[in-house]
Amino acid sequence: MSRKYKMIDLCAGIGGIRRGYELAKEFENVLSAEIDKNACLTYKHLYGDDPMNDITTDEFKDLVAKTEYDVLLAGFPCQPFSRAGKEEGFHDKTRGTLFFDIAEIISRTDPKAFMLENVDNLITHQKGKTFATIIDVLVNDLDYKVIGVTKDDNGKLEYDPRSFVRNSRNFGVPQNRPRVYIMGFSRKRFGDAVDMLPNSLPTERKEKLYKDLNDLLEMNADDKYFLSEGYVATLERHRARHESKGNGFGYKIVNLPEIESPVSNALLATGGSGKERNLVVDPKEGVAGKIYPSKHTPLNDKGIRVMTPREWGKLQGFINYAFVDKKTGEDKFSFPEKMADGPKYKQFGNAVTIPAVEEMANFMSRCLKILKKQAGY
């Protein structure tokens, strides 16, 4: 059996991208970087590796340069590029952003391939200039074949930004979560063989983890997840104000009986708005009118509650999928002991959907096999 491709996991969060690639069986992690304290605790708890590294430092970049690896993975944030002064390559175009640091690492180490993940707003950020700059840097400055990008006879880049967006709901989970995936292969290493690769990333996953949202929800949740009647009244007033102005904002109950195949809205790291756009009705008995210590008014009589962190974990593929031992059936995912719900919601909201990333990893593996054969690498 050939050796596994070695990968580095940057802006790692709690390791969702890493886990998706590990599930593809062709990749193993050799270095990680994350700076959020709670995410680092969970990452170390899950993988045994301490990812506390800052990709913006020269010290870390030197460490990467000394590390033998093949594939760079990063879920970097969307940040504006300042365009002051002369633009002489990616150093001037992207300085001051985490993408600059990722580009610098790629420039110094020339991995065989990379995959970057971001929010779908990336393609419209700064009227499309941010995304255009990223693609230009990756293709022209760093010399990578980016899947979905071609050049015309004059060397002008041709691509549809929307073709980089993939939705988690098409990859086995009932969550409406569009995300941008950018994958590239080194022209320096593989030459023109990269032009023989398929020019579109996977659009779906055939296997569904859940039939719909109802198949995933765990009813009779703990009382603490049910909203107080005062909070429900506040949400209703808030939505009525927005509706009177013609806006679509406000809370959403995502599992109402009239919804034939319910899916959740995107989970958000900000917590509050992500929860309020993903309320569910839970028919648990004995909740209505109950006094809960931390709530100012009794619990509501409609059974409305937020989803639990565990349900968010299932929507992202962490729980009940990615860490299940195939021999014993035991789910080995867990958070560090005594971690509060707040960081759990934030970490799942920030995370990738693992089944979607797994499909991207399988695609990359197929591409690397094509390149190995064509380029004799």
The domain that holds 65 is classified in CATH as: 3.40.50.150
Task: Say if 152 falls within a structural domain.
Answer: yes
CA distance 145 to 134: 13
State whether 90 and 202 are in the same domain.
Answer: yes
Q: 78 or 352: which carries more pLDDT confidence?
A: 352
Q: Which domain holds residue 180?
A: 5-209+353-375
State whether 321 and 191 are in the same domain.
Answer: no
The pLDDT score that the predictor gives to residue 376 is 65
Task: Say if 231 falls within a structural domain.
Answer: yes
Known catalytic residue at 78: yes
Q: Read off the pLDDT of each residue in 75-82 and give the average, rounded to a whole number.
A: 68
Q: pTM for the whole thing?
A: 0.93
Q: How many domains does the chain have?
A: 2
Place of tokens 């995410």: 39
State whether 96 and 52 are in the same domain.
Answer: yes
The overall average pLDDT reported for the chain is 92
State whether 21 and 48 are in the same domain.
Answer: yes
Task: Say if 345 falls within a structural domain.
Answer: no
The pLDDT score that the predictor gives to residue 84 is 38
Residue 58, C-beta contacts closer than 8 angstroms, at least 6 positions apart: none
State whether 171 and 217 are in the same domain.
Answer: no
User: What is the DSSP code (8-state) at residue 51?
Assistant: -
Task: Say if 328 falls within a structural domain.
Answer: yes
Task: Say if 243 falls within a structural domain.
Answer: yes
**Of the ranges 1-15, 258-272, 336-350, which one carries the lowest mean pLDDT score?**
258-272
- What value, to the nearest 5°, has the Cα angle with vertex 341 and ends 21 and 39? 40
Q: Give the residue among 20, 24, 19, 74 at the shortest CA–CA distance from 47.
A: 19
State whether 33 and 82 are in the same domain.
Answer: yes
State whether 82 and 125 are in the same domain.
Answer: yes
Annotated active-site residue in 11, 40, 78, 367: 78
User: What is the DSSP code (8-state) at residue 326?
Assistant: T
Instruction: Give me the amino acid identity at 114.
Output: F
The pLDDT score that the predictor gives to residue 125 is 86
State whether 74 and 170 are in the same domain.
Answer: yes
Q: Give the residue among 103, 179, 189, 99 at the shortest CA–CA distance from 140.
A: 103
Task: Say if 347 falls within a structural domain.
Answer: no
What is the pLDDT confidence band of residue 210, given thresholds at 50, 70 and 90? Answer: very high
State whether 151 and 239 are in the same domain.
Answer: no
Instruction: Give me the amino acid identity at 164.
Output: F
State whether 159 and 265 are in the same domain.
Answer: no
Pair type for strands 304-305 and 280-281: antiparallel
- What three-state secondary structure class fits 71? strand
State whether 172 and 278 are in the same domain.
Answer: no
Q: What is the CATH number of the domain that holds 317?
A: 3.90.120
pLDDT over 80 (residue 16): yes
State whether 263 and 242 are in the same domain.
Answer: yes
Task: Say if 234 falls within a structural domain.
Answer: yes
